[in-house]
Amino acid sequence: MTRKYNWKTGCDVEATMSVIGGRWKPILICHLLDGRKRFGELRRLTPNATERMITLQLRELEADGVVARHVYAEVPPRVEYELTEFGQSLKPILVVMQEWGHAFKARRLAEEAEHN
C-alpha cells in the first residue's frame, strides 16, 4: 500500500495517522503493549480482522519501525511480534484513545437507556 503523505510539507497529525491510522493498526499495537505475541494470538485477539489484513497491517508497522518481527527456525515456523522502543512511545496516545473510547461507550449506553 503506497502512502500519499508528503513528509516535507504534511501536517504532523497526518504523519501520525499515516503510521497508526487504519482500522486494525491501533488495535494490534494495543495488544502488543502487553508484550511479545505470536501471530496466532494476535489473530485470536482480533477476530473481526482477516488473517491477510492483520499480516498487511503488521508489515506496514514493521516497515515504519513500530513493530519488530522475530522468526524462529522451527518446524512449524514460529513468528512473534513486539513493539520496538519507538513503538512503545505510542503508549500514551493509545491509553488516551482507550479512555476516550470508554467514556464514549458509557455516554452512548446512557443515552440509549434514556430512550428505552
Angle at which helix 25-32 crosses helix 12-20, to 10 degrees, equals 70
Reported as a single tens digit per residue, the pLDDT across 67-92 is 999 999 888 889 999 999 999 999 99
Q: Which residue has the higher pLDDT, 70 or 9?
A: 70
Residue 1 has pLDDT above 50, yes or no: no
Is residue 112 scored above 60 in pLDDT? yes
Q: What domains does the chain contain, in order, with CATH numbers?
A: 12-115 (1.10.10.10)
**pLDDT at residue 18, as a whole number:** 86
Indicate whether 3 pLDDT > 70.
Answer: no
Whole-number pLDDT of residue 77: 85
24-82 pLDDT, tens digit per residue, is: 999 999 999 999 999 999 999 999 999 999 999 999 999 999 999 999 988 888 999 99
Residue 4: pLDDT over 80: no
Beta bridge pairs of residue 38? 80
15 Cβ neighbours under 8 A, 6+ residues apart:
5, 7
What does each C-alpha distance from 7 to 64, 66, 89 come to in angstroms? 13, 17, 20
- The CA distance from 41 to 78, in Å, is 12
Question: Stretch 1-23: mean pLDDT, rounded?
Answer: 76
CB 68 within 8 A of CB 83: yes
Q: What pLDDT score does 2 carry?
A: 47
